[in-house]
Structure 1
Amino acid sequence: MSSHNVFNLIRIFAASILITTLASPSLLLAAGSARPVLVTTIFPLTELARGVVGQRAEVRQVIPPSAEIHHFQLTPSDLKLLAEADLVIAVGGGLEPWLVKLEKSLRKAQTARTLRFIDYLRSADYRALRQDDPHVWLDFEADRILVGRLVEELCALDPEGEEYYRERGRALSAELSALDARFRQELGRCAGKEMIIAGHQAFAYLATRYGLVPVSLSGPQPEAQPGARRLQDIIRLVREKNIGAVFYESSEPPAYASTIALETGVRFYSLSAGVNLTRDQLQENKSFLELMADNLQILKKALGCE
């Protein structure tokens, strides 16, 4: 066994001991003495959870909204956060591999149960679920389904707050439906349908829901780097179809987008995937729904939908 593998095993073993210790009954508050604690992995899940719980429960986020989610590594403070949770809300689909390694310890310590977004959609037979694409939070109908599940989980955790959670869940669901309807109506009259993504395919859920055709340099996993041939294929497609815009994820450098723009003369625009927020987005305290509404305005302008 390599020294690297040994080191990883030691880290996982140490994390298991820490979680079990932190979650022991002697260190936890007595039942009913504190608000429920929900721990989320990424910003969109945090926003949806807070929309349901209001002030009645705590929502804490493991991965900072300015961090790169695909290369995130847990710290001891993150382990403590997970050990204190009543419910862990994750995306699943391989986006949080570190959580899988820790779940056995969480179960042994009789702490939180985990709600995985993608697994729940699969169990609900959600037909728009995409194979090997974890960016499901960009599908507002899927978000509504998650909100409904969150309401049920919270009612079980805190029965006295049932009416409160259900009312807030209905309000948040209505907001998501309204935003979904805006996207459908306003992107339904676009002159262009091809959505060229100069990077990994983070926006396929959003594009296909509204009749757009997502074309990216690489697949949904950001580790995949596009080859020179793929870049030339995209440039050729832009020229042949007279496509007027190319997009890139706002948290990533626009290197590929600027190359395509330089070769074809098109303009390039940034879109937010709702996670790795930019400094400006953080300073403006943008909500997830506001980020998505900003995306809509950018898409309308870039694709000639106005």
Structure 2
Amino acid sequence: MTTKTRVTRYRTADIDGLDVFYREAGDPAKPKLLLLHGFPSASHQYARLIEELKDDFHIVAPDHPGSGHSAAPDRPYTFDFLADTIEKFLRAIDFTGFTMYVFDFGAPVGFRVATRHPEWVKGLVVQNGNAYEDGLSDLAWGFIRNRDPRFARDLLAAEYTKFAYLEGARDPETISPDTWTLDQHYLDLRPQPQVDLFLDYHSNVEQYPRWQAYLREHQPPTLITWGRGDPYFLEPGAKAYLRDLPDARLHLLDTGHFALEEDLTVIADLVREFAAAG
């Protein structure tokens, strides 16, 4: 039985005067794994996954600007701004040549970085993050099309945060309320960045053809792990990747949007098998 001994370090990088918080774990000599979080979370959503994988990889998981422990400057927030910052962050800590795990909001951030620097990406793990209009539910289209700031702010209510964790889960009683409670703390503390990002989400759909072209051209090895009970990103969104990546490995899981909450060890084993050789 392997004993996990490596610690996780909690660090901050100064990126153009903006403090970007990140978790780092593992041996720098091991394959690199970049974890990009989604809404309404920050890198804390990967804390248990990091514990599972930190003896197998060199792992970095940043908090996007305006999320978690990263700074939240008073400025408009767009997905381009998040991607610009993460790109500069990766340069600053000299972290390239990685397998990139993207989820939810992390997908549009990660795909922007990948299209700019395909040479940085050795592989993709996509978990409930769309790059196709296939599988965008009516709920998802509702917040993509509605540009009213009041509507976006309403989406930050605690009932919706809890809904995102429990809807589609096979056994909601196994999901700790600490998850949505911590996320709600950050939403209540700094709502404006997330309101801005909801209002900018349409920009991601507009970039889907560009991301699909990247996938077709570069054929990054790809693992797709998808909670099929996700109320926002439905199963067809996972299968759509196979049009451009016919060799991708697809695993549909009987869980919801936050698939790691119920299927942590399953996903960790899949990632380990998929990416360790990278």
Shared fold (TM-score, shorter chain, > 0.5): no
Determine which structure has more spread, i.e. the larger CA radius of gyration. 1
TM-score, structure 2 as length reference: 0.33
Higher fraction of helix? 1
Q: Which has the higher strand share?
A: 2
**Relative contact order (C-alpha < 8 Å, sep 6+): which is higher?**
2
